[in-house]
Structure 1
Amino acid sequence: MNSTFKCFVLVATSLFIAGCATTTSHLNKPVSFADLNGWSDQPLDLLKPSLLNSCAVLREDTFADESGWGTYKQWRYLCKELAQTPERQLRSFFEHNFTPMQIAPNQKGLFTGYYSPVIAGSLTTSDYYPVPLRTLPEDMIKVRPSDFNVSGKELIGQVQNGYLTPYKDREAIEQQLIGDEASLLWLTSAEDKFFLQVQGSGTVQLEDGTIIHVGYAGNNGQDYISIGKVLQESGELTEVSMQSIKQWLKDNPDKQQWLFNQNPRYIFFKQNDKSAITSQGVPAVSNRTLAVDPTIVPLGMPVWLDTTLSATGEKFRRLMVAQDTGSAIKGAARGDIYLGIGKAAAILAGQQESLGKMYVLVPKSVTVEPEAGGQ
């Protein structure tokens, strides 16, 4: 779940409507709704609540007037209209108020999938639960370059001998022993933890049946490296999926930690009130939430996806909402489809890797009515 991140990464600041303003590219192409394969028979259930969730976090700094994605006033007006639109009229609402904009029409889009895992855990460590799910460390320091009148992305580090240095990588963090006070929960295996970090959020079930939702709290500032790519480039795997990676780990238990350490980025967690909270701070909705590169597509925008479900070969054509980000989700026409919770979703997500097209729905020029009180 990654611009990917950068206004920030993985769970970045909300962009729909919150965060850094992005601008449309001259490479994007306006089309009509008639050009969207499957639009006329698209079921729009669950879409309105997702969009209204994004409307609730609308911020003025998201859309600069020159961005090409619509102005803040236009979005507020459209959010108000959406709230008053009956479900049966949603298709007409979009056709009347938006223009589809194909993202990077001259290149093939790539669409993967992610899910929210459910794994066993404990509040305390034991021989059966030896793996910590770490919270943000107290020695981590974040620096905004803008505070020093310089440009660049946020710096994440630690103080050593009076100097700010890069924060520890995965291998160094894993070598640090911690107690219950520095761990949110304890898990049974390093594999469960690693893939939970890849997904960015999940659900942990305690032995008494208690459910605890966990989500992204931050990262160590190190670069993300795909362990699937490492296995492929080293000749260990020819075809990479979550299932093939897990089988390799099962066949090579002595190399497990070595492989995990090839990805120096480390994700820290916090407890959430709900499952699968997105980078935008709203709940993810299965088959409706899309992770995107927020430097290309602002979070909260409606996105039409035309691709294929790899596991079944079925066409996947539907209107989604750009609500999430992910470390590996970078570039134009790149998306990560949220496929739900649990084992069935894990199978779909593990196999998902298909080409396709992405269209962002951009507001037409609308007349914004003055708000009461002159606001």
Structure 2
Amino acid sequence: MPWTLAPRRHRVAAAIAAAALAACTSVPLPPERPAPVEDARPAHPPAPPDAGVERPRSRWIPADWGELPGWNEDRVAEVWPALRASCGRPARGWAEVCARAMLEPPADDGAAREWLARWLQPWRVESPDGQTEGLATGYFEPLVEAQRQPRGAFRVPLHGLPTPGAMPKPGWTRQQLDTLPAARAALRGREIAWVADPLDALLLQVQGSGRLALTEPDGSRRLVRLAFAGHNEQPYKSVGRWLVERGEMTLDTASWPAIRAWARRNPQRVQEMLWANPRVVFFREEPLPDPSVGPRGAQGVPLVPGRSIAVDAGSIPYGTPVWLDTTEPLSATPLRRLVVAQDTGSAIVGAVRADYFWGWGEEAEAQAGRMKQPLRLWVLWPRGLRPQ
């Protein structure tokens, strides 16, 4: 999530991925379509000759496979776990394709390309006024050291939802929750854990979820996940933009590493910066039995590093495969790959807009914090099904 913009999606209720996938297998398979496999290559029949489809925030234009830059270079078989997970909550008209995605897993990238071209049709996504270039940003799942009880440097609390009725509507601002006795009382006893750095707490709130390397009172350690539970109904204000407006950095240089560096240089102003964002996010603790499973996005399925994106749902429905044409952060290295729209966020607004999920760990944090790249994208939609 870019630090000059607004925060990550707010996670939906829990869903078990295996059960979601099993739902796909309950869809009866219709007779095989007549299109031969050899036609399912980039030189197969062209898109239907119409003027495209208008969606609430975008326009889709039928395209040919040859328009997708780098289509033959991506390891497209890697998208199958994300695609099959989304099939647990398929969009209208996707039942047949989802059933086949479950029962016909590709053996390699070539077979995956043939399968996709056989059953899906590319559409170029553009804005209602015809703009084809937009913005790609990145997000990740933070990993933060935490203590179950406040001790030593670990004095910054992470809270669960306040007791119902304990806060006004909208709720108290971040500054009020730090300073007003009545506001502080509303969160007393709702502490999940404590972290040492207030910027780590802000990072978890902006990303909307995270992992805690948690030390229990008896000294034992375990890894848990913090999932989004709600917020105080105050508007989000970017601390990155706050710094830009005060001349501390520019829009081009604003990033999470730059914000941390500024905080180290200006410890006496950190509280002022934090109070510039009135929104506070509340969490719930979840077990993390399998660290290889990502957090759930707005579609309700686990995100897959490098194969899941957040989108504006008014432009692209959840569960839709999307071809990205962008570059990696701070370089001209092409980032062209097939991903699945599985998430959203309050900053992810517009037709050609994607937030790329990098995963977790230090490299994911570095890449996500610096990603603000030009973007073009195409969606893949079931053949013969006109998008709604």
> Normalization by structure 2: what TM-score?
0.77
CA distance in 1, matches of 2:349, 2:333: 25
Deviations 1:64-93 (A, max 9, x none): xxxxxxxx2x21111001112232322122
Query: In structure 1, what is the equivalent of residue 25 of structure 2?
Result: none
SS at match of 1:115: strand
Q: Hey, what's the Cα distance between the residues in 2 that align with 1:83 and 1:313?
A: 36
Report the residue type matching 1:181 in the other structure. G
1:342 lines up with 2:353 in the alignment? no
Contact 1:112 1:349 in 2 (8 A): yes
C-alpha displacement at 1:24, in angstroms?
5.9
Q: Please give the per-residue CA displacement for 1:156-194, whole angstroms capped at 9, x wherever unaligned.
A: xx55xxxxx422222222334467730121111211100
Q: Residues of 1 paired with 2:321 and 2:286: CA distance?
A: 25
Aligned to 1:298: 317
Equivalent residue, structure 1, for 2:147: 122
Q: CA deviation at 1:12?
A: 5.0
Contact 2:139/2:207 (<8 A) preserved: yes
Match of 2:247 in 1: 235
Distance 1:360 1:324 in 2: 15
**In structure 1, what residue type is equivalent to 2:193?**
L
User: Is 1:182 equivalent to 2:190 in the alignment?
Assistant: yes
Query: 1:135 touches 1:184 (CA, 8 Å); kept in 2?
Result: yes
Question: Is 1:261 paired with 2:275?
Answer: yes
- Distance in 2, Cα, partners of 1:140 & 1:313: 52
Report whether the alignment pairs 1:81 with 2:85: no
Q: Between Structure 1 and Structure 2, whose CA radius of gyration is higher?
A: 2
The reply on whether 1:47 has 2:79 as its aligned counterpart is: yes
Deviation at 1:366, TM superposition (A): 5.7
Q: 1:151 maps to which residue?
A: none
Number of the residue aligned with 1:38: 70
- Displacement of 1:46 in angstroms is 3.0
Instruction: Tell me if the contact between 2:329 and 2:373 (Cα under 8 Å) persists in the aligned partners.
Output: yes
What is the aligned partner in structure 1 of residue 10 from structure 2? Answer: 10
1:13–1:280 contact (8 Å) kept in structure 2? no
Deviation at 1:45, TM superposition (A): 3.6
Q: Distance in 1 between matches of 2:58 and 2:171?
A: 38
Residue of structure 2 equivalent to 1:150: none
Structure 1 residue 10, shift from structure 2 partner: 2.6
| Equivalent in 121, 130, 142 of residue 99 of structure 1 | 121
Kept in 1: contact 2:235–2:279 (CA 8 A)? yes
Q: 4+ residue stretches of structure 1 with deviation over 6 A?
A: none
Q: CA–CA distance in 2 between the matches of 1:140 and 1:299?
A: 33
Cα separation, partners in 2 of 1:41 and 1:101, compared to 1, 3 Å:
same
List alignment gaps of at least 5 residues for structure 2. Answer: 15-19, 21-53, 289-293
Alpha-carbon contact 1:11-1:326 (below 8 Å) kept: no
Note closer, same or farther for the CA distance 1:102–1:297 as it changes in structure 2 (3 Å cut). same
Match of 2:229 in 1: 217
CA distance in structure 1 between the partners assigned to 2:214 and 2:10 by the alignment: 26
Task: Report how many residues are paired.
Answer: 325
**Residue range with higher mean Cα deviation, 301-310 or 277-286:** 277-286
The whole-number CA distance in structure 2 between the counterparts of 1:171 and 1:279 is 29
Distance (whole Å) between structure 1 residues aligned to residue 177 and residue 346 of structure 2: 19
Counterpart CA distance in 1 for 2:239 and 2:133 is 24
Output the CA distance in 2 between the equivalents of 1:26 and 1:324: 17
Runs of 5+ consecutive residues of structure 1 not aligned to the other structure = 17-21, 64-71, 142-157, 160-164, 368-375
TM-aligned CA distance change 1:26 to 1:267, over 3 Å? closer
- For residue 342 of structure 1, report the CA deviation from its aligned partner: 1.1
Residue in 2 that maps onto 1:172: 176
Output the CA distance in 2 between the equivalents of 1:99 and 1:48. Answer: 17
**1:205, 1:212 within 8 Å by CA — same for their partners in 2?**
yes
Q: Is the 8 A contact 2:316 2:341 kept in 1?
A: yes
Mapped partners of 2:300, 2:230: distance in 1: 14
2:372 matched to which residue of 1? 353
Contact preservation (8 Å) 1:124, 1:180: no
Q: Say what the alpha-carbon RMSD is for the aligned residues.
A: 2.8
**Structure 2 match to 1:162:** none
Identity %: 31
Task: Write out per-residue CA displacement over residues 308-341 of structure 1, whole angstroms, 9 at most, x where no aligned residue.
Answer: 0014431100000111112321122111111121
**CA 1:333 to 1:352, structure 2 compared with 1: closer, same or farther past 3 Å?**
same
CA contact (8 A) 2:57 2:351 kept: no
